[in-house]
Amino acid sequence: MSLNWKVGGLLLGLVFFAAVLLVKPIGVSTQFVIVDGIIGDLVNPDLVTQTDDGFTSTNAYLAKSGGKYAKSVANPLNYSFIFVLAMMLGGFLSVLARGGIGQSERSMPELWRANFGDNAVKRYAVAFLGGFVVLYGARLAGGCTSGHMMSGMMQTALSGYIFAAGAFAAAIPVSILMFRKEA
């Protein structure tokens, strides 16, 4: 089963609009820092502390913004954290809907198979590595594609348009190099 890219784009736009209208703009990369903080707080219980003014941390990043990130480490069950968990669950359900992890013929896009073969381990390793590189870049940039590009452009932020131009300027040549064969 495949979703037409125009329908998918429209649905994605509606989800982003509903999020901005009902809750707040979507951005997810900071939540991975929150996970790091949760793990760090388990190892070092003094990492995040509650004060009379709210929360603070011995880590400068978690303490910034008035302790907003330290508060999220102390109380992770918030909208943004649940959103990230739901994204992972959605990705897993998508794999199952395409035939499952062991069914490489159905779970891998035809374009991938045409260029790189049917090796599921290779597919998952490249997907993991790509996700790691994107997340690392998102943290360097101070936000991810959903925060900078999608939510930023929706709010007509100049930085969102600059980020989108840079993302496409990098993605198009890489895609042309990686996917030389057509499905």
Tell me the CA distances in angstroms from 119 to 122, 165, 179, 180, one per residue in order.
5, 33, 16, 18
Beta-carbon count within 10 A of 30 CB: 20
What pLDDT, on the 0 to 100 scale, is given for residue 73?
A: 92
Q: For residue range 35-88, what is the model confidence (pLDDT) as tens digits?
A: 889 999 999 999 999 988 899 999 998 998 888 899 999 998 888 888 888 888
Q: Are 148 and 141 in contact (CB under 8 A)?
A: yes
Spatial CA neighbour of 43 closest among 28, 32, 55, 58:
58
| Total residues belonging to the chain | 183
What is the radius of gyration, based on Cα positions, of the chain? 19
Q: In this structure, what DSSP letter does residue 58 have?
A: S
Task: Please give the structure tokens belonging to residue 131.
Answer: 């996700």
Give 10-residue mean pLDDT values along the chain (183 residues): 82 86 83 89 93 91 88 89 87 78 64 84 88 83 79 86 90 88 74
Res 107: pLDDT = 61
Give the model's pLDDT for residue 71: 93
In 31-160, which ranges are E strands?
A: 48-51, 54-57
Question: Cα–Cα distance between 47 and 62 in angstroms, integer?
Answer: 9
Residue 24 pLDDT: 83
User: Smallest Cα–Cα separation from 88: which of 24, 150, 28, 163?
Assistant: 28
